[in-house]
A and B are shown apart, each in its own frame.
Chain A
Amino acid sequence: MDLPEYQAKEILAQYGVTVPEGALARSAVEAENRARAITCEKFAVKAQIHAGGRGLAGGVKFAATPSAVRDAAEVLIGMRLVTEQTGPAGEEVDSVWVEAAIDNRRNIYIAFVIDERKGVAQLFGAPEGGVAFEESARADPGMLESLEVPRDGDLSGVDVAGFLDRLGIDGAAAPHGAALIAKLVRAATETDALLVEINPLAILSDGQVVAVDAKMVIDDSALYRHPEFEDIARAAPRDKYERVARENDINFVKMDGDIGVVVNGAGLGLATNDMLIDAGGRPANFMDIRTTATSLQIARGIGVLLEDPAVRAILVNVHGGGMTVCDTVAEAINIAYSRSARKPPIVFRAAGQNASWALKIMKDRRLPFEPHDDISGAVKRVIALAKGAE
């Protein structure tokens, strides 16, 4: 689960990390009022979306007065912000974070990351953070400094000092930096974070360190032990289709094509969409029915596709394994079609466990389907149907 800036900062602040004084606003007037309550010489007005790259995309504006804050918020709220990380459709901005702009002395990049190659948590840092960090780190990965986090989170003072020194956090800033690292590791560990990124971390002239921007990703699998995130988790999927799917144990990503795709398992789903697109088709979605989903839950996922007016045909590709068997999916299709006024044609390919049983269900319930034995043939046919073939 991705947390936008303001939530990440709230959590970090609870762990004692210094963040600029700020507040969330959902309208321009509210932004102005928020600004009046903050004492500072310059304000930053920052679009709150679930993706980074805002600075370069015009999602962060500076203002000298509360009324200028209102003007900036007026521009930002309601706009679709397209950044390197949102995809071409962008994301609509429904709120802004108003905060005291920090007159940075220096900008550092620092992050807590799960390093899958080593199977450990690591701290990463770079002496130059800010909006251009990603590009410069890609060009020169050697600029990244790292420090492995021991299992008990108990970093040695010498190791931390060396790491900070390599980042150029020295002198008066060194003790503040060491304290920040302890807080960062504790926050990440206790919230089951997969990523905590502070960029930039400002080093002020008196040595204080301030998290000017922060992002967090919380492990969805660990949400059961974090009731404090329940509200955020419920609101997290931004798209109503993705929300329905999430509630029904289906992984679902909306795409802009005309072929609905029903597949069990992420790998088979990716493979099916690859073949569909290679053959000139346009999937309306990526779907992965989780092994724990029931036929009723799967039916709700398929219902989402039937509601989508762009979907002209449905490709079903299921391989019954030890957990999801083919007849469960056939039952789900039947339930979804019996509830829907739209009944687009189905190209049905079932293999593995209970495949023939599934086929019998499809026939007995008189669903509008054509059976196929191999994926390539099914893909070809569903593309033709979506283009209007009889």
Chain B
Amino acid sequence: MAVLVDEHTRVLVQGMTGRAGTFYTDLAMRYGSTYVAGVRPGKVGTSHLDLPVFDTVRQATEATGANASLVLVPPHKAAEAMIEAIEGGIGLVVCVTERVPVHDMLRVRAALRGSETELVGPNSQGVLAPGLCKIGVMATSNATAGRVGIVSRSASLTSEIVAQTSAAGLGQSTTIGVGGDLIHGIGFRRCLELFKDDPATEGVILIGEIGGSEEEAAADYLASVDYGKPVVALVVGRHAPTQRRMGHAGTLAVLGGGTADAKVRRLQDAGAVIAQNADEVAGLMRQALGDA
């Protein structure tokens, strides 16, 4: 088992015929994931990587039963692609595109309201259930199927923690990169909910950083439920140079993006085990699971 994806996940790729689309679709299929179609307006009837290509998401889902989409299109086309997938009723949309304009993401968020779609990203490395399904651009060499769910804002740090948990014999149930952008799809809180209900996930590693309010929302959620599984949290950026702030920055300061220390405190108060640095995350999870 895993969250968001499973052995029945059938992936279509928006932007499959491009250079990045070709490269990452090919890698994901070699990994054993089920990819069923590509979408590229104007190319209906052709095939690419032995998969049929369609003009629209709707055509592709009707013809192939695709239920997940990987969005790999340039930034200026990414919002339209996500909205098309949401309106096409795709259950899971994963967008790895970086630098999608924030105002475009406001439109995507409006499209998400009332839909059944879970959006991961943009600027996400994707979702990986080792051995079952890869939707994204992450490396898989160190990933092993296992017991720990990982949710993260950072791709590079996820690679690091995946390698550690594999080396520690824990493995991963699913890894989810929620993306580092200001406005994105699902966040830490939703991922924690999903992991809570997943029998394969025995513990969750949450990798946060300064800025935004993802970690605070996660802490509020953990404090409000009997989570039943250990959560190990690493929040990086404790010593980051304070970013320059604009204007009187009043609203931002008041609403705002907590410091790493404030996030750590909130998570700790909510019952999470706090890792002081990236090297000790897997060890703390082993202890929490009673393996040490």
Contact = CB atoms under 8 A, between A and B. Distances in A.
B125 A322 contact: yes
B254 A376 contact: no
Nearest to B137: A322
B225 interface: no
B203 to A, nearest CB: 20
Contacts of A255: 241
Contacts of B253: 134, 137-138
Nearest to B76: A224
Contacts of A286: 240-241
A274 B239 contact: yes
Nearest to A191: B103
A116 B183 contact: yes
Contacts of A22: none
B75 A221 contact: yes
B106 A267 contact: no
Contact of A321 (B139, B238, B241): B139
A133 B210 CA distance: 24
A217 B246 contact: yes
B64 interface: no
Nearest to B207: A267
A271 B247 contact: no
B251 A111 contact: yes
Contact of B254 (A144, A195, A352): A144
Interface in A129-150: 131, 133-134, 137-138, 141, 144
Interface stretch (A49-57, A98-106, A157-165, A169-177): A49-57
A205 interface: no
Nearest to B136: A322
A313 to B, nearest CB: 18
Given A255-B241, A271-B157, A151 B110 contact: yes
Contact of A113 (B101, B245, B252): B252
A319 B102 contact: no
A114 B106 contact: yes
A265 B157 contact: yes
A351 B246 CA distance: 38
Contacts of A216: 246
B22 interface: no
A117 B249 contact: no
Interface stretch (A63-71, A73-81, A119-127): A119-127
Interface in B197-254: 207, 209-210, 212-213, 217, 234, 236-242, 244-254
B40 to A, nearest CB: 22
Contacts of B249: 52, 85, 134, 197
B156 A264 contact: yes
B109 interface: yes
B287 interface: no
Interface string A259-281: 00001111111111111011000
Contacts of B250: 109, 111, 126, 133-134, 137, 197, 199
Contacts of A324: 156
Contact of B239 (A52, A277, A290): A277
Nearest to A119: B109
Contacts of A208: none
A197 B241 contact: no
B180 interface: yes
Nearest to A3: B246
A46 interface: no
Contacts of B154: 265-268, 270
Contacts of A275: 277-279
B116 interface: no
Interface in A179-224: 189, 192, 194-195, 197, 199, 215-217, 219-222, 224
- Which of B102, B248, B277 has the most A CB atoms < 10 Å from its CB? B248
Contacts of A351: 159-160, 163
A334 B280 CA distance: 31
Contacts of A225: 76, 101
B251 A197 contact: yes
16 contacts: A86-B244, A87-B241, A117-B213, A137-B251, A141-B254, A144-B254, A265-B156, A265-B157, A267-B156, A267-B158, A270-B210, A271-B236, A274-B277, A319-B157, A319-B159, A376-B277
Interface of A: 2, 50-53, 85-87, 109, 111, 113-117, 119-121, 124, 126, 131, 133-134, 137-138, 141, 144, 151, 189, 192, 194-195, 197, 199, 215-217, 219-222, 224-225, 253, 255, 263-275, 277-278, 286, 290-292, 319-324, 351-353, 374-376
